[in-house]
């Protein structure tokens, strides 16, 4: 939810609709989308950029951004997460819907 916002999160979770890489990119799930034939080259290019940087600078940057993000938007798990999952697993209608969804995925 932190990455894509509450509205799209609700839509995707409630509908369980599939989405492609372009939509994931535009929603903020991904930094970039590359063609299959360029994937290895683009990954190697990113790796080379990162290995050329000081390890401590990378680690501290990651830690700092994570800390700032945590203060902006609570990213810790809520006690209600487990309660919600438990309730969903106990609900016959919810279980049936989950089983139907997984069955559709298996047939694809």
Could you report the per-residue pLDDT of 29-71, keeping only the tens digit for each?
899 999 999 999 999 999 999 999 999 999 999 999 888 877 7
CA distance 21 to 68: 28
| CA–CA separation, 29 and 23 (whole Å) | 9
Residue with the two structure tokens 């599939």 = 18
| Rounded Cα gap, residues 8 and 27, in angstroms | 8
Residue 90 clears pLDDT 90, i.e. is over it? no
Helix, strand and coil percent figures for the chain, each rounded to 5:
75, 0, 25
State pTM to two decimals.
0.60
Question: pLDDT band for position 85 (50/70/90)?
Answer: confident
């Amino acid at each position: 939810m932190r990455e894509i916002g509450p509205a799209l999160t609700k839509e995707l979770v409630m509908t369980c609709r599939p989405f492609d890489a372009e939509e994931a990119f535009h929603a903020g799930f991904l930094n970039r989308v590359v063609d299959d034939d360029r994937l290895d080259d683009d990954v190697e290019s990113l790796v080379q950029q990162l290995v050329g940087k000081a390890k401590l600078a990378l680690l501290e940057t990651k830690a700092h951004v994570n800390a700032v993000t945590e203060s902006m938007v609570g990213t810790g798990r809520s006690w209600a997460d487990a309660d919600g999952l438990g309730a969903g697993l106990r609900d016959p209608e919810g279980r049936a819907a989950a089983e139907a969804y997984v069955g559709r995925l298996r047939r694809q």
